Structure 1
Amino acid sequence: MEFCIGSCAKIDEVGWARQAEDLGASHFGVGEGPLLFSDPYQYLALAARETSTIKLGTWVTNPLTRIPPVTANSIATLNALAPGRTFLGIGTANNALRSMGHRPATIHELDTALDTTRGLLAGERVTQDWLGQRREIEFLDKQGHWYNLDDPIDVWMSAGGPRGFAVAAKHADYMTYCLGPNPEMIGVVRRELDKAVAEAGRPPGSVKLVALSWFYRLRDGETWEDGIDNGFGSGPISSCITNAGFMNAHVDELGEGIVKASTDAATAYIGDPTAADAPHYLETWAKYLRGLDPVHRPLITKELVDYWCLYGSPDDLLEKTQLMREAGCDMVSVFLSNPFTATRDIADIGSSILARV
């Protein structure tokens, strides 16, 4: 079974990738945030040297903090260290841009960047508009001395909404979407993705759906509250933020209750940046993916935890994983929202899920 584990890039914790490989995960990805985490490509280069089978990639980079030729070079260089087991995860960016006080990339910018990046990785000469100039570019090493363009590099795309689905259907091999063990939500996303793939003229199943969930294995006597306090923290609110627009567009199918609950949590988390007492964006992001920020604790209800999180006893975790696959997910993934408990959580994923499928 394909299963991906993701984390923030933490340069002194390359052992996470090796641990994930040893326990049977098929993919390991690291996030990018220039002001937040270690550099992902330095992490992945080290991880490539310490692993042999697991696929490694960005989860995710974006088209603004790194222009397409730089992204193409970085991932092709990694592909020289880990031939055939490299993937490029890319999206519009949330934390990477917002933590610097800037907007994320537009869907058009992402689409254009992927046209350039995929063309370069295919060894083509492409045209790039940059700095007000339109120029032809291509990789100049035709012998493979400096990077690897021979082994294929899968593209993973993270973006929601109709335009995001269309770009994923055009470019991606995998589309990552924040999903929990809810068949209705998974079914709607699966249907919309398949529709976009058909409209893009690609064969059915060309784009695999990867569910991104937040994880915690409950110990004896623990409850859902312990999952928040000791595990995924504010993770489910991130799912609310990324899904609010899509859910409101499909409220008739998903139900007004969960759509309103998710929208309200997202709104409360982000707040009004124009308000006079709004916190500075650097303060807002200072505790991102570092465990639970107590300020957010009242926003995370059992309804949201049940909807967005993969949590419970080992039997619960296995059952929910199987449910998600049966509902339409080609791959289940977990992003570890707390680097201080990542080693524990990877071990729990291994014993509760990967060793039992």
Structure 2
Amino acid sequence: MDIGVVFQCDPPAREVVRLAREAEAAGFSHVWTFDSHLLWQEPFVIYSQILAETSRVVVGPMVTNPGTRDVTVTASLFATLNEMYGNRTICGIGRGDSALRTLGYQPTTIAELRDSVNVIRDLANGRTATYRGAEVHFPWAAGGELEVWVAAYGPRALALTGEVGDGYILQLADPDIAAWMIASVRAAAEKAGRDPAAIKFCVAAPAYVGADLAHQRDQTRWFGGMVGNHVADIVARYGADGAVPPALTDYIRGRQGYDYAEHGRAGNTHADFVPDEIVDRFCVLGPVEAHLEKLTALRELGVDQFAVYLQHDDKEHTLAAYGEHIIPALRDATPKPTPAAA
């Protein structure tokens, strides 16, 4: 299992770059960031500096969307970074939440998301894409290798992921919900004639290493509020019965609104409705042993990467603990392939 890390692009941008260097040194495989331009700084500018000051980590948004950038511009950004730094980017994409809602817009449609996945991947990888009825391509792009991973919760978005995504991003770390979501994506892939085993699965959630669970819950309760935004959309569209597991829909009954000025922030006052049980299920908290237990369970479900949301008051210690204890333990526990018979 790969271990990635997710940063917000809070100023100063040099601090994000510094933390990315620390993450690479600690053994993290991916450096992701939020992409919400009214709330945080522009990520693609920061990606270029991260890539220049590292040599191994793969970099990209968790997640971008088709609404705030023309998808051909997004593809050009990735293709350019890959040409400069040797195919070390990845595109996480979804329908859009904070980036669009802070502008007064609704998330994009499933059809728009589907088109964006195909256009971004084809153009960034040097192929011709169909865009607004026209055939377009980058004559300068060659040798690109960009994967597009789709973030999804609802039934139609999960189906789309199985049909066209290179990977699936689930933004919560509950093994039971993860099993349901992964099965849905795999079923959609098989129905579309794709190999379900070819899709990569990423679980992303806050992780905090330590003994004080009460404090850790207070620092990560915001995440249940963030997830609740997406769940509220699902409930509004499909109702509360059957579209997704009850563990996702039941807890938002006490939700009374959301202030995006506090989006993704520890201490978010609009996350008070999130109970401790949900914080514990959605996040990865406690001592090292608790992290290893939960991550091992996720890996056994087929999760290829766990991405640590690092939005709390103990970033440095969490990075160090993962580098010193968790990443090596997961690496050493990975079964080695059986040598082929002579």
**Structure 2: gaps of 5 or more residues:** 331-342
1:300 shift after superposition: 2.6
Matched, 1:312 2:281: no
Residue of structure 2 equivalent to 1:235: 223
1:249 shift after superposition: 4.8
What pairs with 1:111-122 in structure 2 (closer than 5 Å)?
111-122=114-125
Residue of structure 1 equivalent to 2:137: 138
Matched, 1:162 2:162: no
Percent identical = 27
Tell me the secondary structure at the aligned position of residue 311 of structure 1.
Answer: strand
Amino acid at match of 2:109: T
Residue of structure 1 equivalent to 2:264: 289
Say which is worse superposed, 165-174 or 70-79, in terms of deviation: 165-174
What pairs with 1:119-268 in structure 2 (closer than 5 Å)?
119-129=122-132, 134-141=133-140, 149-182=142-175, 184-219=176-211, 222-223=212-213, 225-229=214-218, 231-243=219-231, 245=234, 248-250=240-242, 254=245, 256=246, 258-265=247-254, 267-268=255-256
Q: How many residues get paired? A: 323
Q: Residue 56 and residue 317 in structure 1: after superposition, are their counterparts in 2 closer, same or farther (change >3 A)?
A: same
Residue of structure 1 equivalent to 2:277: 303
RMSD of aligned Cα (Å): 2.2
**Cα deviation 1:257-313 (Å, max 9, x = unaligned):** x34542325x3344xxxxxxxxxxxxx2112223212x2353231111122011111
Q: Which has the higher contact order (CA 8 A, sep 6+)?
A: 1
Q: Residue 351 and residue 250 in structure 1: after superposition, are their counterparts in 2 closer, same or farther (change >3 A)?
A: farther
Tell me the secondary structure at the aligned position of residue 214 of structure 1.
Answer: strand
Residue of structure 2 equivalent to 1:347: 320
1:67 shift after superposition: 0.8
Amino acid at match of 2:281: Y
Q: Residue 78 and residue 39 in structure 1: after superposition, are their counterparts in 2 closer, same or farther (change >3 A)?
A: same
**Cα deviation 1:201-225 (Å, max 9, x = unaligned):** 1113121111111211123xx22x2
Partner Cα separation in structure 2 for residue 261 and residue 217 of structure 1: 28
- TM-score, length of structure 1 as denominator length: 0.83
1:348 shift after superposition: 3.1
1:341 shift after superposition: 4.2
Tell me the secondary structure at the aligned position of residue 351 of structure 1.
Answer: helix
Of 95, 98, 115, the residue aligned with 1:95 is 98
What pairs with 1:66-77 in structure 2 (closer than 5 Å)?
66-77=69-80
Does the 8 Å contact 1:68/1:113 carry over to 2?
Answer: yes
- TM-score, length of structure 2 as denominator length: 0.87
**Structure 1: gaps of 5 or more residues:** 142-147, 271-283
Say which is worse superposed, 149-158 or 310-319, in terms of deviation: 149-158
Q: Residue 98 and residue 345 in structure 1: after superposition, are their counterparts in 2 closer, same or farther (change >3 A)?
A: farther
Partner Cα separation in structure 2 for residue 102 and residue 41 of structure 1: 22
Large movers: runs of 4+ above 6 Å? none
1:34 shift after superposition: 1.1
Does the 8 Å contact 2:206/2:283 carry over to 1?
Answer: yes
1:26 shift after superposition: 1.1
Q: Residue 287 and residue 80 in structure 1: after superposition, are their counterparts in 2 closer, same or farther (change >3 A)?
A: same
